[in-house]
Amino acid sequence: MKTNENLGFSTKAVHSGEIRYNEYGSITTPIVQSSTFIFKNTEEIRKLAEGVEGRFEYGRYGHPTQVAAEGKLAALEGAEDAVLFSSGMSAITTSLFAILKSGQHIIITDDAYKRTLDFCKACLDRFDIECTVVKMCDYDAMEKAIKPNTRVFFSESPTNPYLNIMDLERLMNIFRGRDILVISDSTFATPYNQRPLEYGIDIVTHSATKYLGGHNDLLGGVVLGRKELTTPIREYLKITGGVIDPHPSYLLIRGLKTFELRMKRHNESGQRVAEYLESHPKVKRVYYPGLASHPHHDVAKRQMKGFGGVVTFEVKDDVSYALEFMSRLKIISIGPSLGGVESLITHPATISYYNVPREERLALGIKDGLIRLAVGVENIEDIINDIDQALF
C-alpha cells in the first residue's frame, strides 16, 4: 500500500508497505520462503535485465516479505527508502563500508553501542579509515574533530545505558553544508518517539530486534533515508549478503502492526517505574529522560514524544548486591536485550562488559551497581511490586 501522509500512525503501521489484494487473497503478507524466483519465459528475463520490469530473481537480492516490511518501516520513519538487514550490526557495518573509502575519516561518540565502537576503532583501521571518538553531547569537541577528509559523523540518541540525548538541531548546525553524512542510531527512540530525518539527519538506523519487532523473537536491522543514500547501501548488501530471511521479515511486519499501542505502554510504564525508583531509598540514582533530574531532560522534552521503556539506575556500589537483587526478581527476566513485550533486566558490568578490566570499565562509566531495566508491557503495578520485593 502506498502511504498517504495524512493517515494516522497506527493506520500506517497496519497497512503501509503491504499489497491490499495479493494473489492469494490473504489479509496478511505471506512468508515467501523461497531462495529462487522462476521466470515464465525468456522474455521476462530480458525485461529484468533491461530494467523494464521490477521483479524478484534471487533471495539475496530481495524477496516480497522483505519489501513489504521495508515499505512499512519507511512510512513510519517518514523516509524515502528503507533497507532491511539480518541484524542491527549488519545494517551499521554494511552501511559504513558502503559509504567510507580508504583515506577517509569518521567521528563517533563515546557512548555509542560497544560493538559499533569496536568496529569503528578496530576494523575500519585495517582499511586505512581513521576514527575519532568524541564525548557525547560535547558539541565543541565534535566540531573540533572535523578534518578535511571527514566523511561520516555517527551517534546514537538515546544512548545505552545512560540514555543521553543528542540535541539534533544543535548537531545539524555543526554539520549542515559540510559534505559530511550524519548517521543516527535511533533504536532506543523508535520512529514513534523521535524522527531524526525531520531535523536533517541523513541516515537513521535501528536494531529491528528491539522495539520494532517488539516480541523478543527476531533479529533484524534497518537503514532509512533518501534513496540516493540508501541505493549504494542496498547494492553493497547484495554483495556482502547480510540479508534478512522471509520468516523474521514476516515477524517484523506482524510486530509493527501493534507498534503504536506497544510504544504508548512502554512510554507510560517507563515513566512510572523511573519515578518509583527515584523515590526508593535503596536506589542511588536513576537515569531516564522523562525525569527532571536527567541532564538532557529539556532536550528530550523538546524533540521526543515519549521516552521509552528503558530505565537505568544505580543500587549499592557492589556487584554481589546487584546480582542478588536481580536473582530475587520473579516476573522480570535477566537478559541483555530491550524493547520486547517481556520486561528484561541486565547488569552491564557482568554481562556486556564481563571481559573488560574493572578499571577500564569504570572509566567508561560502567559502575558495579549500574543496572538497566527494559520495561515490557506487563501490568505496571506487577512490575513495580516485583522490583520492590527484590530490593533489600
CA dist., res. 190 & res. 348, Å (int) = 22
H/E stretch holding 134 reads strand 130-134
> Is 60 part of the annotated catalytic residue set?
yes
DSSP per-residue codes, 151-219? EEEEEESS-TTT-----HHHHHHHHTTTT-EEEEE-TTTHHHH--GGGGT-SEEEEETTTTTT-SS---
In this structure, the strands spanning 344-346 and 203-207 are unpaired
Give the three cell numbers for residue 191. 520512529
Active-site hit among 210, 234, 262, 367 = 210
> Is 210 part of the annotated catalytic residue set?
yes
Which residues does 178 contact at the CB level (< 8 Å), separation at least 6?
146, 150
> Which of 345, 341, 331 is CA-nearest to residue 377?
341
Secondary structure of 46-106 in HEC code, one letter for each residue: HHHHCCCCCCCCEHHHCCHHHHHHHHHHHHHHCCCEEEEECCHHHHHHHHHHHHCCCCCEE
Q: Which amino acid is at 21?
A: Y
CB count in 10 Å sphere of residue 361: 20
> Is 113 part of the annotated catalytic residue set?
yes
Give the three cell numbers for residue 297. 531532560
In this structure, are residues 205 and 182 in contact, taking their beta carbons and an 8 Å threshold? no
CA dist., res. 203 & res. 199, Å (int) = 11
**Could you give phi then psi for residue 120, rounded to 5 degrees?**
-70, -40
In this structure, are residues 161 and 349 in contact, taking their beta carbons and an 8 Å threshold? no
> Is 353 part of the annotated catalytic residue set?
no
Active-site hit among 60, 272, 284, 285 = 60
Active-site hit among 12, 81, 111, 113 = 113
In this structure, are residues 172 and 199 in contact, taking their beta carbons and an 8 Å threshold? yes
Active-site hit among 185, 202, 245, 368 = 185
Q: How far apart are the first and last CA of the chain?
A: 53
CA dist., res. 329 & res. 341, Å (int) = 17
Residues annotated as catalytic (active site), given as ranges:
60, 113, 185, 210
